[in-house]
């Protein structure tokens, strides 16, 4: 099956050239994409990955919730805990905390017999499951490892950009705070040192940034403003962009609506339905623009808008269109 954007082929109609500006916030090595649940966070993360690949950056999109959105859009088998190339210059991985824990232990313990003994220990499994935040910590540790110029794992490829489809707002905040929490608890020793290294990575504004995804609705706009304040104030994470997702097009001018209004009294049911449909969309578009203006007054980060996709599910063609629209 020939795909418009598939593995081992150039991106469609580009030859790695775009007729749009290069996005400066994609020049960082690590970007966390976050936002309220249901705002299209995963869609935006994938679109950003496609855009970065179009700009010639070796990019990996990291999923941490085992949703496998990337594999579905690219019509691949489940990606899982392996780095899978889904297109030229674009890879994907779905991080499982248990696999991250195993990999971490393998890197720490050089004696194979000790590693095998530890993995078979019920006490180790119990402590790992019972320690709050430990799975989040090893997940961030894996993200850190992916972003390193010199990878820790054998034959690990070097990426120019790591894009993380982060947990939704509430869990996302605690997720990013995990390294600081562990560093404060373990004041000395390897755990403190490694946790501090992860925190330094997250708060390095030249290396790491974040993108908040919102919807043109009252609650998501309010939560986006709160999230920006928490990320920049409480965690010291750079917020490089807010993306207002799923905006309806403004199709009708006042002149158009005046002409369509004549259909309201038509005896033809289909013509009346045309008017009502146009009126509904026009009102919704106007309401969304009001929320966009509210957002502009509530956040300090630059805002990019993306259109609503009128399809039952996101296709590769639509994702590519969103990638080009990120300008």
* Tens of pLDDT, residues 44-72: 999 999 999 999 999 999 999 667 788 88
pLDDT band, very low/low/confident/very high, at 254 (cuts 50, 70, 90): confident
| Structure confidence at residue 187 as a pLDDT band (50, 70, 90) | confident
Per the domain annotation, does 11 fall within a domain? no
Q: Is residue 259 part of a domain?
A: no
Judge whether 309 and 246 are in contact, CB under 8 Å. yes
CATH code for position 231: 3.40.50.300
Residue 146 has pLDDT above 90, yes or no: yes
In a domain, 288, yes or no: no
Mean pLDDT (whole number) for 121-131: 58
Long-range contacts of 64-69 (CB under 8 A, 24+ apart): 64/94, 64/95, 64/139, 64/143, 64/164, 64/165, 64/166, 64/167, 64/175, 65/165, 65/167, 66/94, 66/96, 67/42, 67/94, 67/165, 68/94, 69/42, 69/43, 69/165
Q: How confident is the model at residue 250 (pLDDT cuts 50, 70, 90)?
A: confident
Q: Is residue 246 part of a domain?
A: yes
- Beta-strand relationship, 90-94 and 84-87: antiparallel
In a domain, 14, yes or no: no
Distances in Å between the Cα of 43 and the Cα atoms of 48, 95, 132, 318, 319 are: 9, 18, 29, 10, 7
The answer to the question of residue 274 being in a domain is: no
Tell me how far apart the alpha carbons of residues 276 and 278 are, in angstroms, rounded to a whole number.
Answer: 5
Is pLDDT of 249 > 80? yes
Percent of the chain with pLDDT over 90: 53
- Domain membership of residue 223 (yes or no) is yes
Quote the domain boundaries for residue 89: 24-251+300-325
The answer to whether residue 289 is domain-embedded is no
* Total number of domains constituting the chain: 1
């Amino acid at each position: 099956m020939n795909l418009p954007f598939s593995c081992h082929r150039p991106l469609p109609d580009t030859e790695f050239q775009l007729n749009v500006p290069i996005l400066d916030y994609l020049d960082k090595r690590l970007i966390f994409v976050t936002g309220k649940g249901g705002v299209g966070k995963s869609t935006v993360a994938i679109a950003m990955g496609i855009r970065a690949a179009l700009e010639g950056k070796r990019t990996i999109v990291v999923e941490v919730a085992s949703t496998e959105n990337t594999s579905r859009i690219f019509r691949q088998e489940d990606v899982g805990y392996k780095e899978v190339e889904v297109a030229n210059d674009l890879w994907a991985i779905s991080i499982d905390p248990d696999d991250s824990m195993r990999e971490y232990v393998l890197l720490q313990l050089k004696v194979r017999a000790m590693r095998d003994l530890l993995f078979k220990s019920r006490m180790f499994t119990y402590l790992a499951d019972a320690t709050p935040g430990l799975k989040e910590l090893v997940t961030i540790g894996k993200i850190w490892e992916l972003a390193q110029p010199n990878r820790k794992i054998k034959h690990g490829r070097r990426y120019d950009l790591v894009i993380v489809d982060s947990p939704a707002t509430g869990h996302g905040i605690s997720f990013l705070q995990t390294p600081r929490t562990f560093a404060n608890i373990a004041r000395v020793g390897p755990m403190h040192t490694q946790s501090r290294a992860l925190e330094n990575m997250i708060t390095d504004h030249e290396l790491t940034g974040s993108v908040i995804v919102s919807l043109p609705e009252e609650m998501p706009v309010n939560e986006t403003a709160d999230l920006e304040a928490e990320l920049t104030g409480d965690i010291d994470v750079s917020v490089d962009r807010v993306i207002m997702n799923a905006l309806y097009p403004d199709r009708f001018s006042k002149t158009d609506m005046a002409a369509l209004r004549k259909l309201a009294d038509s005896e033809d049911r289909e013509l009346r339905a045309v008017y009502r449909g146009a009126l509904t969309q026009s009102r919704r578009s106007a309401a969304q623009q009001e929320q966009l203006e509210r957002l502009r007054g509530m956040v300090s980060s630059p805002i990019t808008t993306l259109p609503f996709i009128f399809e039952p599910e996101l296709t590769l063609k639509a994702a590519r269109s969103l990638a080009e629209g990120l300008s």
